[in-house]
Structure 1
Amino acid sequence: MIAEIICAVLWIWYAALWCIGIVGWRTARKQYSNRPRSPLSSSPPDAVPGVSILRPLKGLDTNLFENLETCMVQEYPKYEVVFAVDDPNDQALRVVQEVMAKHPLVDARVDIGDEVVGVNPKVNNLMRPYREAKYDILWVIDSNVQVAPGTMGRAVDALCQNDAKPNAKRIGLVHHVPFAWASERPWGSQLEEAFLNTNHAKMYIALNMMAIDSCVIGKSCMYRRSDIEQLTGTLKPATKLADPHMKKGLAAFGRFLAEDNMIGAAIWHELGLRHDMSCDVAKNAIGNMSLEAYFWRRVRWVRVRKHMVLSATIIEPFTESVLVGALVGWSLKFTFGFPIIAFLVCHTVAWLYVDLDVYAALAGHPVPASIRFTFIRAWFCRELLALPIWFYAVFGNEVSWRGRSYRVLSNSEARHVERPSKRSWWGQQRRVDSNAYQGSEPLMDDVS
């Protein structure tokens, strides 16, 4: 009887999981197949809300010039670009100067120097441009992200869509699904590309479509400074009785590594606002990521997310194709005598087909023939590695980010930890992955 109940639960869970996956798949097909030009793009400057683009920088990211240039060619009549660098000797400054010299008519400037408000270096770097930005609407884009020229206009459309509707909840944040592309193809880059562009994108889109709760990755986020200024990061509804000495605004999120996810959750729970996703992607340049760097990146995501959304982290292995397929295969064998291998073949082929079609929907084309074999191979490896990485990660609390060690606390905050440099699997000093400020990404998944 117990085995039969377990089998029934597995079938219900499997059906629910496929329903969620299909929601993400069909939404990707519908929403990302057409990217219409925003009417705001051709409006006069005094007829549109201004936007301040904030780009935090640290070091030379992959394709940095091309990444930064995409925010200088936005089809929108009223915006400024602020490049934030905490160190006057940072190598990124040379690239910024080249980008600004190529586009002298764009309202752009560099803000050098940070303001330490917590352990999160991205938040510290953003504090000055956050306060000094000309416009209330802020668009924060990570340094390794490229966006299409019409992205700003469509994002502002989404942000303002409910402003004039009296009974509709106002949109407080617009974000974009990450879409990875690897300019170099070591194993780690291939696995990251296969993960972000298939199962991760499918589930991310589905969860936001169902809008049960906040689910935000901070590669590209647009919100209003006037809204952020009301937030405390406690995720409790804002009231007039709030502690007047409590930090508010962006500074309140310096104590978290996953500031993007916490800002999204605070907008949702403290202000009662909702999120939206436009039909654009945040094109994430991965670069040269080793297998080791991929492993530690996934570990960091799990360990940070564990203290933010424990229940979702615990059930995560049961959303992965390998474990859920094996369990449902066993249940069918136990109940009906159906061959496990036959079920696993059908299950894997169907799962792969959906994931590849999600890639095609986001990219606007199928996986290129030149990398199709290696992409599918990386997809299989990613699926097989998901459970072992989760087991390793879930029992620890320390993470490494941008060359520093942190301990993630039970209240989701983080503390610096002084540790000697860890040794890699091959006995060399471990190299931190080069993506700037990636703790902002699924820290949902970074929670990302």
Structure 2
Amino acid sequence: MDSFRTAFFIISICLLSWSLIYICLHWIVIIYGKRKLHSKKELSNKLYESQGVSIIKPLYGYDRNLKENLETFFKLDYPKFELLLCVGEEKDGPSLPIISELRAKYPTVDVKVFQGGEDVGPNPKICNMMPGYKSSQYPLIWFSDSTIYTPPDNLTEMMSHIGNPKVAIVHQMPFVCDFEGFAGYLDKVYFGTQLSRIYLLSVLLKQNCLCGASLLMSKHSLGEAGGLQAFGDTLAEDNFLGRAMLERGWELSLSTKLALLNQGTKSAALYRARVTRWTRLRVAMLPFPSLLEPFSECFCISLLGALSAKFLGFSFLVFLISYVIIWFLSDMVLLKIVSNGTLGSLWLVFLAWLYRESTTYWCFLSGLVGREVTWGGKRYRLLLWGKAVRINDSIPETV
């Protein structure tokens, strides 16, 4: 009996310590995020004069904010760039009138349009961008999704990191533009708390955490890794890009600017579907570490910590409530840092936070029980270690 009690005592100490360590990690991320995201860099005139950038944007169908987002790239204050707009299939025709309108409005911007793509694997984004990639004329390439809204000085700031010859990729942490309603706050809370906490901690620990929505990279370093086409057989090309660069001794640098996502349609259902899809991708890439994800979430850690506290003689309820409140307040501080001080309605922020924390376990379980995802209107089967095939493709019998 004493041996069981000793074992439970040790387990309780470990779980209680883990819950307290995670709060400390919160504040380490908060301090690091404040320093990292709000620092300023100067771009030298030498870089201005010598480094041109090819901006490749994959365009899929029509989004009601497409014109607003795309126009921000026509208004960049960087003096030497080209816009390579890659329109996927014929059904993506609705974006062509918008492109024509913007070209007429900004005639001095160097713009090229590519229709169709090149089949280099199941990844539709890579296939779509291949013609633009092959036609790019500058040594630096900025891959930017169609849903990105960018301020005029965004590229200028990202270029300031290229002065370090060891840097192969400059990446931006994803966040969202303000959007009215509960779904807008839900995205804001998700990207500004859970995702940004993991993202910033990964950067601090020099781990691969690339988000493919906005990546500025050296064409030379990408060529060393086999070129863009080498990443067409996975849906998580950003993760494999980062891994390939780190394996070759290159560095990844985080921009102080955010990749602002500005999608025209939002809902709680779309949010859950997106988080479930991302969970399935993570489980396919890293199946064993992904199983530990629930133990990094608020309600799971607070419950385990409270049970441990009770076993050690403390109040279960006091610990549970106090821990959740501290976690929530820490998240709000981080969200304020990431959003540059603007939270909006505190009531909606709280409801969105509560919804995200409550549904994360359902999204995780949904991600575990399936291997199929839908992306860009197409269905894919995920294979182990991050590879994928189209659902109508033949799947090797060994899988």
The answer to whether TM tops 0.5 is yes
**Match of 2:187, SS?**
helix
Match of 1:52 among 51, 54, 68: 54
Counterpart residue number, 2:204: 209
Spell out, residue by residue over 1:264-306, the C-alpha distance to the aligned partner (whole angstroms, 9 max, x if none): 111112x121111111001111433233222221111111111
Counterpart residue number, 1:394: 368
- State the number of aligned residues: 387
Question: Residues 280 and 367 of structure 2 are in contact (CA less than 8 Å); yes or no, is this contact kept in structure 1?
Answer: yes
Supply the AA of the counterpart residue of 2:296.
Answer: T
Structure 1 residue 174 and structure 2 residue 170: aligned? Answer: yes
Q: Distance in 2 between matches of 1:362 and 1:294?
A: 20
Structure 1 residue 253 and structure 2 residue 249: aligned? Answer: no
The Cα of 1:4 is off from its aligned counterpart by 1.4
Match of 1:292 among 269, 291, 296: 269
Tell which deviates more after alignment, 98-107 or 327-336: 98-107
Question: Residues 16 and 309 of structure 2 are in contact (CA less than 8 Å); yes or no, is this contact kept in structure 1?
Answer: no
Counterpart residue number, 2:152: 149
Match of 1:360 among 336, 339, 344: 336
Q: Distance in 1 between matches of 2:352 and 2:83?
A: 37
Counterpart residue number, 1:224: 218
Spell out, residue by residue over 1:135-178, the C-alpha distance to the aligned partner (whole angstroms, 9 max, x if none): 011001111111222121221111332x2xxxxxx111111111
Counterpart residue number, 2:396: none
Match of 1:264 among 233, 242, 246: 242
TM-score relative to the length of structure 2? 0.92
Q: Distance in 1 between matches of 2:338 and 2:272?
A: 25
Q: Distance in 2 between matches of 1:288 and 1:47?
A: 40
Q: Distance in 2 between matches of 1:13 and 1:365?
A: 30
Q: Which ranges of structure 2 fall in alignment gaps of 5 or more residues?
A: 1-5, 394-399
Match of 1:159 among 157, 162, 175: 162
Counterpart residue number, 1:408: 382
Spell out, residue by residue over 1:399-431, the C-alpha distance to the aligned partner (whole angstroms, 9 max, x if none): 111222111001311111149xxxxxxxxxxxx
Bigger fraction of residues in helix:
2
**Match of 1:195, SS?**
helix
Match of 1:79 among 60, 78, 81: 81
Structure 1 residue 325 and structure 2 residue 285: aligned? Answer: no
The Cα of 1:45 is off from its aligned counterpart by 7.9
Structure 1 residue 190 and structure 2 residue 192: aligned? Answer: no
Structure 1 residue 39 and structure 2 residue 34: aligned? Answer: no
Q: Distance in 2 between matches of 1:66 and 1:312?
A: 39
Counterpart residue number, 2:69: 67
Q: Distance in 1 between matches of 2:263 and 2:60?
A: 15
Supply the AA of the counterpart residue of 1:361.
Answer: I
The Cα of 1:58 is off from its aligned counterpart by 0.8
Q: Distance in 2 between matches of 1:145 and 1:153?
A: 16
Supply the AA of the counterpart residue of 1:129.
Answer: G
Counterpart residue number, 2:357: 383
Q: Distance in 2 between matches of 1:62 and 1:335?
A: 56
Question: Residues 14 and 328 of structure 1 are in contact (CA less than 8 Å); yes or no, is this contact kept in structure 2?
Answer: yes
Shift of the 345–253 alpha-carbon distance from structure 1 to 2, 3 Å rule, reads same
Supply the AA of the counterpart residue of 2:81.
Answer: Y
The Cα of 1:250 is off from its aligned counterpart by 0.9
Question: Residues 215 and 265 of structure 1 are in contact (CA less than 8 Å); yes or no, is this contact kept in structure 2?
Answer: no
- Structure 1 residues 228-247: aligned runs within 5 Å: 228-231=222-225
Counterpart residue number, 2:105: 102
Shift of the 380–178 alpha-carbon distance from structure 1 to 2, 3 Å rule, reads same
Q: Distance in 2 between matches of 1:208 and 1:195?
A: 18
The Cα of 1:76 is off from its aligned counterpart by 1.6
Question: Residues 59 and 85 of structure 2 are in contact (CA less than 8 Å); yes or no, is this contact kept in structure 1?
Answer: yes
Q: Distance in 2 between matches of 1:125 and 1:387?
A: 34
Counterpart residue number, 2:319: 343
Tell which deviates more after alignment, 27-36 or 194-203: 27-36
Q: Distance in 2 between matches of 1:44 and 1:100?
A: 29
Q: Distance in 2 between matches of 1:314 and 1:300?
A: 15
Supply the AA of the counterpart residue of 1:366.
Answer: T
The Cα of 1:116 is off from its aligned counterpart by 0.7
Q: Distance in 2 between matches of 1:185 and 1:286?
A: 14
Supply the AA of the counterpart residue of 1:357.
Answer: V
Question: Residues 155 and 278 of structure 1 are in contact (CA less than 8 Å); yes or no, is this contact kept in structure 2?
Answer: yes
The Cα of 1:26 is off from its aligned counterpart by 1.2
Spell out, residue by residue over 1:107-152, the C-alpha distance to the aligned partner (whole angstroms, 9 max, x if none): 2221222001100110001101111101011001111111222121
Q: CA RMSD in A?
A: 1.9
Question: Residues 184 and 288 of structure 1 are in contact (CA less than 8 Å); yes or no, is this contact kept in structure 2?
Answer: no
Q: Distance in 1 between matches of 2:257 and 2:48?
A: 25
Q: Distance in 1 between matches of 2:64 and 2:243?
A: 30
Q: Distance in 2 between matches of 1:45 and 1:413?
A: 38
Spell out, residue by residue over 1:235-269, the C-alpha distance to the aligned partner (whole angstroms, 9 max, x if none): xxxxxxxxxxxxx2111111001111111111112
- Structure 1 residues 303-318: aligned runs within 5 Å: 303-318=280-295
**Match of 1:376, SS?**
helix
Question: Residues 184 and 287 of structure 1 are in contact (CA less than 8 Å); yes or no, is this contact kept in structure 2?
Answer: no
